[in-house]
C-alpha cells in the first residue's frame, strides 16, 4: 500500500532558493505531502539522523553542514515512496547524478547535494520518528487527485 519516507531539503537547497523547485518536483510526480516544517535543527538531532555514518571520514563535516542553516523536513507518501524519492534525487555525488534528477539538474557537489531521502523502510520509520515524532505532525488525508494519479483498482490494493 502507501509508504512514507523522510526528505530533508539541506541548507544548500534552502540558501540557494531551491525549496520550491525541489518540492515542486516531488508534488508533480504525484507524491503527497504528509508533513512539512522548516527548522535549524539541533546538532544532536542531525548526529542521530546520520549516526550510521559515524565512523566515516565525512561525518563531522556532514553534521556541521546540516546544522549550518535552516533545513526543510518533509514527509512524503505514495506507493513505493522510498524508491521513487531516491530515483528522483539521483546519485549521491551530484556531478555524477543523471540529468533529470534533482542532484543531476541542480547541483555540482558530493556533500552539498541538496536533498536527503530515506534509503529503506527501517530508516524511513526511524527518521520519520526523529523529525515528525510529535503527535499530529503527520497528517492523514486523501488528495482528491488520488484516483487520477493511480489506477486505484489495480495499484492501491
Q: Nine-digit cell at 13?
A: 537547497
Q: How far is the CB of 18 from ligand IDP (least distance, A)?
A: 15
110 contact, one of Mg ion, ligand IDP, none, CB 5-8 Å limit per kind: ligand IDP
Catalytic residue among 4, 10, 49, 116: 116
Q: Nearest CA to 69 among 14, 127, 17? A: 14
Q: Using the minimum distance from each CB to ligand IDP, give the nearer residue, 87 or 146.
A: 87
CB closer to Mg ion out of 120 and 147: 120
**Cβ atoms of residues 9 and 19 within 8 Å:** yes
Q: Which of 45, 87, 111, 123 binds ligand IDP (CB under 6 A)?
A: 111
| Distance, CA of 130 to CA of 143 (rounded, Å) | 25
Could you identify the residue written with the cell 520519520? 128
- Compute the distance between CA of residue 109 and CA of residue 94 in angstroms, rounded to an integer: 5
Q: Are 8 and 38 in contact (CB under 8 A)?
A: no
Out of ligand IDP, Mg ion, none, what residue 58 binds, judged by CB under 5 to 8 A for its kind, is ligand IDP
Site stretch for Mg ion (CB under 5 A), options 9-17, 25-33, 118-126, 141-149: 118-126
Active site includes 53? no
Which active-site residues does the annotation give? 116
Amino acid at each position: 500500500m502507501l509508504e512514507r519516507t523522510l526528505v530533508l531539503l539541506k541548507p544548500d537547497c534552502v540558501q540557494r532558493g531551491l525549496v520550491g523547485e525541489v518540492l515542486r518536483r516531488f508534488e508533480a510526480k504525484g507524491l503527497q505531502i504528509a508533513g512539512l516544517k522548516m527548522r535549524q535543527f539541533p546538532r544532536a538531532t542531525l548526529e542521530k539522523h546520520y549516526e550510521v555514518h559515524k565512523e566515516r571520514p565525512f561525518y563531522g563535516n556532514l553534521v556541521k553542514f546540516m546544522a549550518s542553516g535552516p533545513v526543510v523536513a518533509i514527509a512524503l507518501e505514495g506507493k513505493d515512496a522510498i524508491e521513487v524519492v531516491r530515483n528522483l534525487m539521483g546519485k549521491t555525488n551530484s556531478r555524477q547524478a543523471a540529468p533529470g534528477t534533482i542532484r543531476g539538474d541542480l547541483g555540482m557537489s558530493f556533500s552539498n547535494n541538496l536533498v536527503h531521502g530515506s534509503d529503506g523502510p527501517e530508516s524511513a520509520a526511524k527518521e520519520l520518528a526523529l523529525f515528525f515524532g510529535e503527535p499530529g505532525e503527520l497528517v492523514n488525508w486523501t488528495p482528491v487527485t488520488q484516483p487520477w494519479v493511480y489506477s486505484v483498482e489495480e495499484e492501491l490494493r
